[in-house]
Structure 1
Amino acid sequence: MRGAAVIGSLVLLLLLSACSGGEDSAAADSKPSAANALAAGVVAPAKVEVIAGITGCKAEIRVDAEELREGLCHTKSGDYLITTFPEDRYQQTWLETAGMYGGKYLIGSRWVVAAKPEELERFQRQLGGTIRQLRGTGPTPSKS
C-alpha cells in the first residue's frame, strides 16, 4: 500500500512539474526575508506545513506515510508539491526514483519541492536548498 502511495505521488509530481502555466508570477514574487530562510533552517528537517507557510500556502496533505509526507499547494502562480522525509535514506530513495523520470527540484535537508522552474528559484530564495535537474532514464517517445 505504501509503495503505491509513493508511486502515485511520483506520478502526480511528474505531471505537475511537466506542466507550465503562462501566468505572471512577478506579483507573487516577494523579496525573501532573512526570517524565512532562518525559519527553514531552524526547523530542518521541516514539516510540510512549515515549508508551505514560508512559501505562502496552506498545504493539502496528500500522503502521510512512514517514509514521507507530501502536501499539495494551490496558488495563483501554479500548483506545487512539498515532500518531507523522516530520514535521509528515504529522501535518497525518493530522489533515485524521481531521477528515472527527470525534472527539476528544489532539494533541502530532508525535503523536496517540485514546482515550475521559475517558482523553484523564488522558493530557493525563501527556503534555501539546491535546485537540481534530475536526468530521466525511462523510455523516450519514438518519432512516427
Structure 2
Amino acid sequence: MAVGVLFLAGCGGGGTDQDKDPAQPEKRAGSAAPSAEPVKAAKPATVEQLAEAVGCEAQIRMKVQDYRQGVCKKGELPYTLITFTTEQNQRDWVDYAKMYGGWYLVGNRWAIGTNKGPNLEAVQGELGGTVEEGKGYASSGTGNGTGTGTSTGEDVYGP
C-alpha cells in the first residue's frame, strides 16, 4: 500500500521552479501552447455567419449538393455569400467568378463577393481569409462587364 501512495505522489507534477526550463511554456492538461498569432476556427462559417460579419441579413438563393448561396445588401452594396462542401468546389467557383470582376474574400470553404474590395477589409479582420480581385470582361452594350446583372435586376457577384 505504501508503494502505491508513493507512486501516485510521483505523478502529481511536483518539482520546483528551478526544475522548469524558462524558455519552455508551462503545459497544463487540456491547454495548448500559446501561439504568436490568433487561430481561426477550422470549421467553415455558415452563410448566416458570413452575413452577420458583413452586417446584413442573408436571403438564401441556392442550396445544392456542392454549395449554399445567399445574397444581401449593406446600404447599396450587394454581397454574395457562399459556403462550399469541399475546397476544390470553392476554388473552382472562385476562379470562375473572378472572370466577371468584383472582389472576393475567400476563407475556409466559404467566399464573399462584392463590387468594392475595400469594403471587405473589416469582414476580413473578423473572419480571416484573403481578398482576391476579379479581372472582368470588357463590356459592350448593356451591363457593366462585371457579370452582376440578374434576371431580378439585383446585383449578384459570381456565376
Identify whether the pair has TM-score above 0.5, normalized to the shorter chain.
Answer: yes
Counterparts of residues 102-117 of structure 1 (less than 5 Å): 102-115=101-114, 116-117=116-117
CA–CA distance in 2 between the matches of 1:110 and 1:95?
11
Structure 2 Cα separation of the partners of residues 73 and 141 of structure 1: 25
Match of 2:123 in 1: 123
Q: Residue 87 of structure 1 corresponds to which residue in structure 2?
A: 86
2:3 aligns to what?
none
Q: Provide closer, same or farther for how the CA distance between residues 127 and 77 of structure 1 changes in structure 2, counting only shifts above 3 A.
A: farther
More helix per residue: 1 or 2? Answer: 1
Distance in 2 of aligned mates of 1:85 and 1:104: 18
Deviations 1:29-52 (A, max 9, x none): xxxxxxxxx8x9326311101121
Paired-residue identity, %: 37
- Which residue in 2 is equivalent to 1:21? none
Structure 1 SS opposite 2:131: strand
Alignment of 1:42-121 (within 5 A): 42=41, 44-76=43-75, 78-115=77-114, 116-121=116-121
Number of aligned residue pairs: give it.
102
Q: TM-score, normalised by structure 2?
A: 0.56
**Partner in structure 1 of residue 34 of structure 2:** none
Change (3 A) 1:78 1:100: closer
- 1:81-139 per-residue CA deviation (whole Å, 9 max, x = no partner) reads 11110111110110221132233211111111112222111211121111112334x4x
- Determine which structure has more spread, i.e. the larger CA radius of gyration: 2
What's the secondary structure of 2:57's corresponding residue? coil
Distance (whole Å) between structure 2 residues aligned to residue 76 and residue 102 of structure 1: 21
Across the aligned residues of Structure 1 and Structure 2, the Cα RMSD in angstroms comes to 2.3
**Which has the higher relative contact order, 1 or 2, with Cα contacts under 8 A spaced 6 or more apart?**
1
Once the two structures are TM-superposed, the CA of residue 141 in structure 1 deviates from its matched residue by 4.3
Unaligned runs of 5+ in 1: 1-37
Helix, strand or coil for the counterpart of 2:100? Answer: coil
Structure 2 CA distance for aligned equivalents of residues 114 and 80 of structure 1: 6
3-state SS of 2:103 partner: strand
Cα pair distance change 1:73/1:41, threshold 3 Å: farther
Distance 1:75 1:103 in 2: 16
Q: Which amino acid in structure 2 is aligned with residue 92 of structure 1?
A: R
Task: Give ranges in structure 2 of 5+ residues lacking alignment.
Answer: 1-37, 141-159
- Measure, in 2, the Cα distance between the counterparts of 1:60 and 1:101: 22
State the distance in 1 between where 2:133 and 2:107 align: 14
TM normalised by structure 1 equals 0.61
